[in-house]
Every structure is written in C-alpha cells, then in structure tokens.
Amino acid sequence: MDSRAPRPSSLFRPQTRSLTAPLHALTALNILDRFCLERFTEFMSRCVCQRHLTLIHASVTLFLLSWSANPALAQDKAASAPPSPAEKTPAPIAPDIVPRALWDGRKIVPFRALDFPKMVRASEADFLDDGDYVLGTTLRGESRAYPTRFIWWHHVINDKIGKAETGGEEPVAITYCSVCNTGIGYDRTLNGRPMPIDFYGLYNGVVTLCERDSASVLLQVEGRFVTGPLLGARLKPVPVLDTTWGQWRKLHPDTLVMSLDTPYQKHYSPRTKPEPRDYSRFPAPFFRPSMTRTDKRLPFFEKVLALAVPASNSPAGGESPILRRAYPLSALKQAGGVVNDTLGNRPVAAFLEPESMTATAVSRDVDGKTLSFEGRSMPDGKRAIFDRETGTRWDLEGRGEAGPLKGKSLARLECHLSQWYGWVAYFPDTSIYGRNDPPQPVDMTSVQPQGE
C-alpha cells in the first residue's frame, strides 16, 4: 500500500543492549526528559562498574516492561498522586465499555494537545515535501492542512476554521491515531460552547481523548463520550481528507497549513523519517491490553476505508440506524480506484487515488439523479473520475471539475482510513465491500489474535 516501510515510533523504539534501553523506556513514560537522559547515562557509566551496570540494566528493564504492559499497574501509580477535582469520585462509565481496557496514559506518555496552531500559506511551507501526509479539511470557505508528522505527537489539535463572509469560525478538533492510521475531524461545540479536547490514552488499540475541564473520555472512532459528566454526548464529525501535501495543495491551492513553529517541534518526526502508515504490529506493550475484540474476516492490520451512513428508512421521530461498511484499500485498488455501491438504500461511491492511497466516499445522488462512476485514462497517462450519465469529470472530494455538472458537489459521507482492528472492534456488525460472510468475532480479553 504505502511505499514507506513501517518503523517503530522513536518514542517506543526498543533498545535492549545498553544502559540506554531502560532510560529510553523511562523517557517514554515521561520520567526523564532528554537532558536528564544524557546526563544520567554519562553519570552511571562513570560511577558504576560493568557488573553493577548490567544488573541495573536488567532490573530496570524488567520493571518497566511489566509496568508499561499492565494498564492496571500504571494506573495504580497514577492514582498515588494527589487527585484532581475530576478524579476524586469515580466517573460513571458507559455500560458497553470494558473499564480495565480503557487505558489512561496521561501520566505515562508525554503527549499534549495543541490549541490554535500558527498557520502559514502554502507558499511558505518550505518544511513540507509533496509526499508528506496531511489531514486536510475545508469548512466555511477556508481550507487548512495539518501535517501528520506534527499531529501524531499531539493526537488532537483544537482549532477554529472559517471565514467571516461564509459564516464565521467553527470550533473543530482534528484528531489522529498514527498506529491505527485514523484521522477524524469533529465540531467540538457541545451545548452551545466549544469543548477543549485533550489526549487521554487508548481503547481497542486506538487513541482516546478527553474533554479538558471534566476529563470525560471521548472515543476518537465514535465521537462519543463514555465517562464523566458528558457521558452519552456525541460530537458531530466534519469531513477530513487524509492525503499527501501535494495532492491537498492541488485540490486547494489557497490552503493554509499548520506551521512547524510550535513549542513542541522537538517531538515531531524528522522530515526524513515520517511516522509509518502501515503498522504490522503494535509498537508498545500497553496497546494489547486495551483490545476487547476483533474479527477474523480480514487481517488484523489490513487498511480499510471505513464508511458510516444513516439508513434511509429511519423510524418516524427517531434516529436513523447507522449502516457501516469497510472497503479494503486493496479491493479499491483492484477496482481501478472507483467503486459504485449501495449501502442499505443509499447509493454511494468510494474513490481511491492509488499513488497517495487517498480514499474517500461520496453520495451518488445529485440534483435528483443517481450517477455511476468510472475511472478513465487521461492524455497524461493518469486516471480521472467520470460519471457515465453526463460525462462530467469529478475530483476526489466529489466536486465537478469539467462537463455538464461542473461546479456541482456530491455530498461527502462520514468516512476515514483505519486499520481493520480499529474499526471492527468498535463496530463488530460492519459489513465488508464485496463480501456477505457473517462476522467472525474473537474475544481479545483472553485470546492473542493470529498476526498481531
């Protein structure tokens, strides 16, 4: 899929043959900063004989592995600190959540949300290459891009997007889990006020977030609060495109982009070593205990486009049931990058740009007509998306570029990229494009899945 070979994040990369092994683990647990790491290593090397050095190395490594692998032990340590007002009373929790799998990493890993980052024009973004990945969104007439080399460390960016002449600024949270490769945007307005969102930890191997003031836990995949005063509340998703900087700039030449100029830039992935997008295993021991279930229909780390749409036959006066489907990127690629589908009674289309592996989904209905799409070769050798009914050419975001429907827009559907495990663990009833086999659930509270 992605041309870049996976590599462990520098935060989790194991070291096993020197004193720096336990110290790197300590850094990952936010116990030592980089300065302390260097000075402590130098001090220990000078003051301790080799035999004692080896013994210390073994003891500390075993302790850290046991501690970080067990969320309960880590949380016991966190509980020893003086409780904040939000921690004095156990928070209520949604009945479908497995409490011991909801891992609180706030005191263990150093990730921090970022509020209102400085933005620069595309022409000023000399810190990005065309192949760098970004999460791009357009709201109320304004386009912004957030490089995944930066946002992977924050996991969430609190921002405001929009122009005054097109409705003003909309408070948004741009969220990213680099291990699951899941980038999702939310309108962070709740009960009439913008909610600041922070990093929390993990659930089902995917990042979890929390509301800053109440510490109510927010599931990134669902946009649902599952603990605390906001239990049961949901944030509304906003369209986000996970694509390359070159592709996003082509779609939105007037885009703004998050600047490298932040207080946290020392933590960002270097330009030559971006975060991987195709993990084949979990990079740290505290991921596995956060899993509750999976499904054998697809490989654990298979990358999919995850789609959710309301069923058209919604009950009167009630919420419409949500239908979900996973489109393996390998299947989209085999189909030439264009798939016409129907989910329930909803005509949908899934598009894939194979060079950047950018995928999205749109409605096939426009102006009372249902369109069908196909990929056609262009004079430059590249493929483009056309509808068969009018011959209009469309871009990846469903905007008519040329032809009778130029200027029209297909409705963007709620979708995002994900590893299979991170989608099916939350939505076990999901269907898979091109298949009708029933779910094959695996209880991961007691079973280690094959291939993980």
Give the three-state DSSP class for 68.
Answer: helix
**Alpha carbon distances (Å) from 182 to 136, 172, 306, 318:** 13, 16, 10, 30
Pairwise CA distance, residues 12 & 202, whole Å: 15
3-state helix vs strand vs coil in the chain, percent to 5: 20, 30, 45
Closest CA to 256 of 127, 129, 138, 114: 138
Number of Cβ within 10 Å of residue 334's Cβ equals: 12
Say if residue 57's pLDDT is above 80. Answer: no
Could you say which DSSP state residue 316 is in?
T
Sorted by where each starts, the structural domains of the chain and their CATH numbers stand as 1-69 (no CATH), 87-290 (no CATH), 293-443 (2.102.10)
Give the three-state DSSP class for 207.
Answer: strand
| pTM of the entire predicted model | 0.82
**Which of 35-39, 101-105, 221-225 bottoms out in mean pLDDT, i.e. has the lowest?**
35-39
pLDDT tens digits for range 182-193: 999 999 999 999
pLDDT tens digits for range 94-113: 999 999 999 999 999 999 99
**Sheet of strand 170-177, all strands in order from the earlier edge strand to the far edge:** 114-115, 156-161, 170-177, 182-187, 236-238
CB 231 within 8 A of CB 93: yes
Say if residue 85's pLDDT is above 90. Answer: no
Structure-token match 């592996």, residue found: 357
Pairwise CA distance, residues 340 & 319, whole Å: 26
| Mean pLDDT of the residues in the chain | 84
Q: How does residue 317 score in pLDDT terms, banded at 50, 70 and 90?
A: low
CB 226 within 8 A of CB 219: yes
CB 108 within 8 A of CB 30: yes
**β-bridge partners, 323:** 309
Pairwise CA distance, residues 442 & 178, whole Å: 24
The DSSP H or E segment spanning 75 is helix 71-79
Report CA 191 to chain centroid distance, whole Å: 25
Percent of the chain with pLDDT over 90: 72
Number of Cβ within 10 Å of residue 375's Cβ equals: 17
